[in-house]
Amino acid sequence: MSAIRTEKLTRHFGEKVAVDGIDLSVQPGEIYGFLGPNGAGKTTTIRMLVTLLAPTSGDGWVMGHSVRQDPGAVRLRIGVALQQAALDGQQTGAEFLRLQGRLYGLSSSEIDRRLADLRELVDIGGDFDKRIKTYSGGMKRRMDLAAALVHQPSVLFLDEPTTGLDPVNRRKVWEEIRRLNGEFGITILLTTQYLEEADQLAGRVGIISEGKLVIEGTPSELKRGIGTDLVIVKLHEESTALHAASHLRTLDGVERVESHGREVTVATAAGPRLVSRLALALDEIGLAVDELTIRTPTLDDVFLEATGNRLHAENGGGSAQ
Protein backbone atom coordinates (compact mmCIF):
# COMPACT_ATOMS: atom_id res chain seq x y z
CA MET A 1 0.00 0.00 0.00
CA SER A 2 1.25 3.48 -0.87
CA ALA A 3 1.57 5.90 2.03
CA ILE A 4 0.24 8.65 -0.23
CA ARG A 5 -1.56 8.12 -3.51
CA THR A 6 -3.52 10.42 -5.76
CA GLU A 7 -5.57 9.72 -8.84
CA LYS A 8 -6.29 12.59 -11.21
CA LEU A 9 -6.30 14.96 -8.24
CA THR A 10 -7.71 18.25 -9.49
CA ARG A 11 -8.62 21.56 -7.92
CA HIS A 12 -10.24 24.55 -9.61
CA PHE A 13 -10.62 28.03 -8.17
CA GLY A 14 -13.31 29.48 -10.38
CA GLU A 15 -11.93 29.37 -13.91
CA LYS A 16 -8.37 28.79 -12.75
CA VAL A 17 -7.09 25.22 -12.62
CA ALA A 18 -4.63 25.19 -9.72
CA VAL A 19 -3.97 21.44 -9.72
CA ASP A 20 -4.60 19.54 -12.91
CA GLY A 21 -5.06 15.78 -12.64
CA ILE A 22 -2.03 14.82 -10.58
CA ASP A 23 -1.26 11.11 -10.21
CA LEU A 24 1.16 10.41 -7.42
CA SER A 25 2.36 7.44 -5.42
CA VAL A 26 4.66 7.79 -2.42
CA GLN A 27 5.85 4.63 -0.73
CA PRO A 28 6.04 4.17 3.06
CA GLY A 29 9.31 5.51 4.43
CA GLU A 30 10.03 7.63 1.38
CA ILE A 31 10.88 11.34 1.24
CA TYR A 32 9.16 12.79 -1.79
CA GLY A 33 9.98 16.32 -2.89
CA PHE A 34 7.53 18.44 -4.79
CA LEU A 35 9.56 21.02 -6.67
CA GLY A 36 8.13 24.01 -8.45
CA PRO A 37 7.94 27.78 -8.50
CA ASN A 38 5.39 29.87 -6.60
CA GLY A 39 1.90 29.33 -7.95
CA ALA A 40 2.74 25.96 -9.53
CA GLY A 41 0.14 24.10 -7.42
CA LYS A 42 2.36 22.62 -4.68
CA THR A 43 0.55 24.15 -1.72
CA THR A 44 -2.90 23.46 -3.17
CA THR A 45 -1.94 19.80 -3.57
CA ILE A 46 -0.74 19.64 0.03
CA ARG A 47 -3.86 21.39 1.31
CA MET A 48 -6.00 18.77 -0.41
CA LEU A 49 -3.94 15.91 1.01
CA VAL A 50 -4.12 17.28 4.56
CA THR A 51 -7.92 17.66 4.23
CA LEU A 52 -8.01 21.46 4.37
CA LEU A 53 -9.34 21.68 0.82
CA ALA A 54 -11.65 19.32 -1.05
CA PRO A 55 -10.59 18.19 -4.51
CA THR A 56 -12.77 19.42 -7.37
CA SER A 57 -12.34 15.99 -8.93
CA GLY A 58 -10.13 12.96 -8.46
CA ASP A 59 -9.11 11.76 -5.02
CA GLY A 60 -6.14 11.25 -2.73
CA TRP A 61 -5.45 8.54 -0.17
CA VAL A 62 -3.19 8.75 2.86
CA MET A 63 -2.36 5.42 4.50
CA GLY A 64 -5.28 3.99 2.53
CA HIS A 65 -7.85 6.56 3.70
CA SER A 66 -9.56 8.82 1.18
CA VAL A 67 -9.18 12.55 1.78
CA ARG A 68 -12.58 12.96 0.16
CA GLN A 69 -14.53 10.22 1.93
CA ASP A 70 -12.76 9.81 5.25
CA PRO A 71 -10.91 13.03 6.18
CA GLY A 72 -11.17 12.25 9.92
CA ALA A 73 -9.12 9.06 9.53
CA VAL A 74 -6.55 10.93 7.42
CA ARG A 75 -6.16 13.64 10.10
CA LEU A 76 -5.24 11.05 12.75
CA ARG A 77 -2.40 9.74 10.61
CA ILE A 78 -0.76 12.91 9.37
CA GLY A 79 1.42 15.66 10.75
CA VAL A 80 1.34 19.01 9.01
CA ALA A 81 3.72 21.94 8.97
CA LEU A 82 2.41 24.52 6.57
CA GLN A 83 4.39 27.26 4.89
CA GLN A 84 3.76 29.75 7.67
CA ALA A 85 4.84 28.54 11.15
CA ALA A 86 1.35 28.21 12.65
CA LEU A 87 1.97 28.93 16.32
CA ASP A 88 0.37 30.77 19.21
CA GLY A 89 2.74 33.38 20.57
CA GLN A 90 0.86 33.76 23.86
CA GLN A 91 1.57 30.18 24.92
CA THR A 92 4.81 28.64 26.05
CA GLY A 93 6.34 25.92 23.89
CA ALA A 94 5.31 23.26 26.42
CA GLU A 95 1.72 24.55 26.67
CA PHE A 96 1.46 24.67 22.91
CA LEU A 97 2.60 21.07 22.43
CA ARG A 98 0.47 19.85 25.35
CA LEU A 99 -2.62 21.42 23.77
CA GLN A 100 -1.75 19.82 20.45
CA GLY A 101 -1.50 16.42 22.18
CA ARG A 102 -4.91 16.87 23.82
CA LEU A 103 -6.51 17.58 20.45
CA TYR A 104 -5.22 14.19 19.26
CA GLY A 105 -6.80 12.48 22.25
CA LEU A 106 -3.51 11.63 23.98
CA SER A 107 -3.64 10.92 27.71
CA SER A 108 -1.66 13.08 30.15
CA SER A 109 1.03 10.41 30.51
CA GLU A 110 1.31 10.02 26.72
CA ILE A 111 1.65 13.79 26.38
CA ASP A 112 4.31 13.91 29.11
CA ARG A 113 6.28 11.23 27.30
CA ARG A 114 6.01 12.96 23.94
CA LEU A 115 7.03 16.29 25.42
CA ALA A 116 10.15 14.68 26.82
CA ASP A 117 10.96 13.33 23.34
CA LEU A 118 10.14 16.53 21.51
CA ARG A 119 12.11 18.70 23.94
CA GLU A 120 15.20 17.13 22.38
CA LEU A 121 13.94 17.76 18.85
CA VAL A 122 13.08 21.39 19.46
CA ASP A 123 16.48 21.88 21.05
CA ILE A 124 15.69 25.20 22.67
CA GLY A 125 16.89 24.43 26.18
CA GLY A 126 15.19 26.42 28.93
CA ASP A 127 13.15 28.40 26.42
CA PHE A 128 10.72 25.48 26.20
CA ASP A 129 8.79 27.09 29.05
CA LYS A 130 8.98 30.59 27.62
CA ARG A 131 6.30 32.16 25.46
CA ILE A 132 6.61 31.35 21.78
CA LYS A 133 6.48 35.02 20.80
CA THR A 134 9.99 35.37 22.26
CA TYR A 135 11.45 32.64 19.98
CA SER A 136 13.69 33.29 16.98
CA GLY A 137 12.58 32.34 13.45
CA GLY A 138 14.53 29.07 13.56
CA MET A 139 13.12 28.12 16.97
CA LYS A 140 9.60 28.83 15.75
CA ARG A 141 10.10 26.63 12.72
CA ARG A 142 11.39 23.76 14.88
CA MET A 143 8.48 24.23 17.29
CA ASP A 144 6.13 24.06 14.30
CA LEU A 145 7.76 20.78 13.27
CA ALA A 146 7.50 19.44 16.82
CA ALA A 147 3.78 20.27 16.91
CA ALA A 148 3.31 18.25 13.73
CA LEU A 149 4.94 15.25 15.45
CA VAL A 150 3.24 15.21 18.88
CA HIS A 151 0.90 12.36 17.94
CA GLN A 152 3.57 10.33 16.08
CA PRO A 153 2.07 10.59 12.60
CA SER A 154 2.80 8.01 9.91
CA VAL A 155 3.01 10.68 7.21
CA LEU A 156 4.44 14.17 7.52
CA PHE A 157 3.51 16.97 5.11
CA LEU A 158 5.94 19.86 5.04
CA ASP A 159 5.05 22.86 2.91
CA GLU A 160 8.26 24.75 2.15
CA PRO A 161 9.75 23.90 5.52
CA THR A 162 12.80 26.13 5.21
CA THR A 163 11.46 29.16 3.36
CA GLY A 164 12.67 32.28 5.12
CA LEU A 165 15.31 30.49 7.21
CA ASP A 166 18.99 31.39 7.16
CA PRO A 167 21.42 28.72 5.85
CA VAL A 168 22.36 27.47 9.34
CA ASN A 169 18.77 26.94 10.42
CA ARG A 170 17.91 25.52 7.02
CA ARG A 171 20.55 22.83 7.47
CA LYS A 172 19.31 22.08 10.99
CA VAL A 173 15.81 21.47 9.64
CA TRP A 174 17.24 19.25 6.89
CA GLU A 175 19.09 17.17 9.46
CA GLU A 176 15.91 16.76 11.47
CA ILE A 177 13.88 15.74 8.42
CA ARG A 178 16.52 13.12 7.53
CA ARG A 179 16.53 11.85 11.12
CA LEU A 180 12.73 11.59 11.31
CA ASN A 181 12.75 9.63 8.10
CA GLY A 182 15.81 7.51 8.87
CA GLU A 183 15.20 6.68 12.53
CA PHE A 184 11.43 6.58 12.68
CA GLY A 185 10.51 5.69 9.12
CA ILE A 186 8.10 8.59 8.75
CA THR A 187 6.96 9.10 5.17
CA ILE A 188 7.55 12.71 4.21
CA LEU A 189 6.08 14.75 1.40
CA LEU A 190 7.72 18.14 1.22
CA THR A 191 7.25 20.98 -1.17
CA THR A 192 10.11 23.26 -1.96
CA GLN A 193 11.20 25.88 -4.41
CA TYR A 194 14.83 25.29 -3.47
CA LEU A 195 16.66 22.99 -5.85
CA GLU A 196 19.33 22.14 -3.33
CA GLU A 197 16.72 21.16 -0.78
CA ALA A 198 15.03 18.75 -3.17
CA ASP A 199 18.41 17.37 -4.23
CA GLN A 200 19.65 16.91 -0.67
CA LEU A 201 16.53 15.53 0.97
CA ALA A 202 14.24 13.83 -1.45
CA GLY A 203 14.55 10.19 -2.51
CA ARG A 204 12.29 11.09 -5.41
CA VAL A 205 11.40 14.45 -6.86
CA GLY A 206 8.29 15.46 -8.74
CA ILE A 207 8.44 18.65 -10.76
CA ILE A 208 5.17 20.54 -10.84
CA SER A 209 4.43 23.34 -13.24
CA GLU A 210 1.11 25.09 -13.89
CA GLY A 211 -0.72 22.48 -11.82
CA LYS A 212 0.68 19.49 -13.70
CA LEU A 213 3.23 16.93 -12.56
CA VAL A 214 5.57 17.17 -15.54
CA ILE A 215 8.29 14.70 -14.55
CA GLU A 216 9.33 12.61 -11.55
CA GLY A 217 12.17 10.34 -10.53
CA THR A 218 15.18 10.21 -8.24
CA PRO A 219 17.35 13.32 -8.48
CA SER A 220 20.15 11.32 -10.08
CA GLU A 221 17.81 9.66 -12.60
CA LEU A 222 16.38 13.01 -13.58
CA LYS A 223 19.81 14.58 -13.96
CA ARG A 224 21.15 11.58 -15.87
CA GLY A 225 18.23 11.97 -18.26
CA ILE A 226 19.64 15.35 -19.26
CA GLY A 227 23.09 14.02 -20.15
CA THR A 228 26.41 13.32 -18.46
CA ASP A 229 27.83 16.81 -19.05
CA LEU A 230 26.31 20.06 -20.10
CA VAL A 231 28.13 22.76 -22.02
CA ILE A 232 26.42 26.11 -21.65
CA VAL A 233 27.08 28.66 -24.36
CA LYS A 234 26.02 32.23 -23.76
CA LEU A 235 25.85 34.03 -27.07
CA HIS A 236 26.33 37.72 -27.49
CA GLU A 237 23.03 38.11 -29.31
CA GLU A 238 19.79 36.25 -28.67
CA SER A 239 18.80 36.34 -32.34
CA THR A 240 21.69 34.01 -33.20
CA ALA A 241 20.68 31.24 -30.76
CA LEU A 242 18.57 29.16 -33.14
CA HIS A 243 21.22 29.29 -35.83
CA ALA A 244 23.89 28.28 -33.32
CA ALA A 245 21.78 25.42 -31.99
CA SER A 246 21.10 23.93 -35.41
CA HIS A 247 24.79 24.16 -36.32
CA LEU A 248 25.96 22.54 -33.05
CA ARG A 249 23.55 19.63 -33.53
CA THR A 250 25.64 18.49 -36.49
CA LEU A 251 28.80 17.96 -34.39
CA ASP A 252 29.91 14.45 -33.38
CA GLY A 253 29.39 13.62 -29.71
CA VAL A 254 26.50 16.04 -29.24
CA GLU A 255 23.48 14.26 -27.73
CA ARG A 256 21.00 17.12 -27.56
CA VAL A 257 20.89 20.88 -28.02
CA GLU A 258 18.35 23.27 -26.47
CA SER A 259 18.18 27.05 -26.78
CA HIS A 260 16.53 29.43 -24.34
CA GLY A 261 17.05 33.14 -24.87
CA ARG A 262 20.70 33.71 -25.69
CA GLU A 263 21.69 30.53 -23.87
CA VAL A 264 22.37 27.31 -25.79
CA THR A 265 22.70 24.12 -23.75
CA VAL A 266 24.55 21.19 -25.27
CA ALA A 267 24.22 17.76 -23.64
CA THR A 268 27.10 15.40 -24.22
CA ALA A 269 28.86 12.41 -22.72
CA ALA A 270 32.28 14.04 -23.23
CA GLY A 271 32.10 17.67 -22.17
CA PRO A 272 35.80 18.51 -21.71
CA ARG A 273 36.70 17.16 -25.18
CA LEU A 274 33.80 18.93 -26.86
CA VAL A 275 34.33 22.44 -25.47
CA SER A 276 37.08 23.53 -27.83
CA ARG A 277 35.30 22.07 -30.85
CA LEU A 278 32.13 23.93 -29.92
CA ALA A 279 34.03 27.20 -29.68
CA LEU A 280 35.67 26.64 -33.04
CA ALA A 281 32.38 25.64 -34.69
CA LEU A 282 30.66 28.82 -33.51
CA ASP A 283 33.62 30.91 -34.61
CA GLU A 284 33.47 29.32 -38.06
CA ILE A 285 29.93 30.59 -38.60
CA GLY A 286 30.83 34.02 -37.18
CA LEU A 287 28.86 33.94 -33.92
CA ALA A 288 30.21 35.87 -30.93
CA VAL A 289 30.26 33.98 -27.62
CA ASP A 290 30.23 35.81 -24.27
CA GLU A 291 30.66 32.81 -22.00
CA LEU A 292 31.23 29.09 -22.32
CA THR A 293 31.01 26.79 -19.28
CA ILE A 294 30.92 23.08 -18.62
CA ARG A 295 29.17 21.46 -15.68
CA THR A 296 27.20 18.43 -14.62
CA PRO A 297 23.39 18.70 -14.87
CA THR A 298 21.33 20.09 -11.96
CA LEU A 299 17.67 19.79 -11.11
CA ASP A 300 17.34 23.26 -12.56
CA ASP A 301 18.39 21.83 -15.92
CA VAL A 302 15.77 19.12 -15.45
CA PHE A 303 13.24 21.82 -14.65
CA LEU A 304 14.28 23.78 -17.74
CA GLU A 305 14.00 20.71 -19.93
CA ALA A 306 10.58 19.80 -18.51
CA THR A 307 8.97 23.23 -18.40
CA GLY A 308 10.97 25.50 -20.69
CA ASN A 309 11.84 27.83 -17.81
CA ARG A 310 14.55 28.00 -15.21
CA LEU A 311 13.44 27.68 -11.59
CA HIS A 312 16.24 29.43 -9.76
CA ALA A 313 15.83 32.64 -11.72
CA GLU A 314 12.35 32.96 -10.22
CA ASN A 315 13.02 32.29 -6.57
CA GLY A 316 16.60 32.92 -5.68
CA GLY A 317 17.02 29.49 -4.16
CA GLY A 318 20.42 27.84 -4.42
CA SER A 319 20.89 25.42 -7.26
CA ALA A 320 22.79 22.20 -6.78
CA GLN A 321 25.93 21.89 -8.80
Instruction: List contacts with other proteins (CB under 8 A).
Output: 50-54, 71-72, 75-78, 80, 82-88, 90-91, 95, 99-100, 102-106, 110, 113-114, 117-118, 120-121, 131, 147, 151-153, 183-184
Q: How far is the CB of 130 from other proteins (least distance, A)?
A: 13
Exposure string for 143-181, b = 16+ CB within 10 A, e = fewer: bbbbbbbbbebbbbbbbbbbbebeeebbebbbebbeebb
Q: How far is the CB of 5 from other proteins (least distance, A)?
A: 19
Q: How far is the CB of 4 from other proteins (least distance, A)?
A: 15
Q: Which is nearer to other proteins, 52 or 294 (CB)?
A: 52
Q: Is 32 helix (H, G, I), strand (E, B) or coil?
A: strand
Instruction: Please provide the DSSP assignment of 189-248 as one string.
Output: EEEES-HHHHHHH-SEEEEEETTEEEEEE-HHHHHHHH-SEEEEEEES-GGGHHHHHHHH
Q: Which is nearer to other proteins, 84 or 136 (CB)?
A: 84
Q: How far is the CB of 215 from other proteins (least distance, A)?
A: 29
Q: How far is the CB of 209 from other proteins (least distance, A)?
A: 25
Phi, psi of 126 (to 5 degrees): -70, -10
Q: Partners of 80 in the beta sheet?
A: 157
Q: Which is nearer to other proteins, 180 or 287 (CB)?
A: 180
Q: Which is nearer to other proteins, 20 or 123 (CB)?
A: 123
What secondary structure letter does DSSP report for 60? E
Q: Which is nearer to other proteins, 23 or 88 (CB)?
A: 88
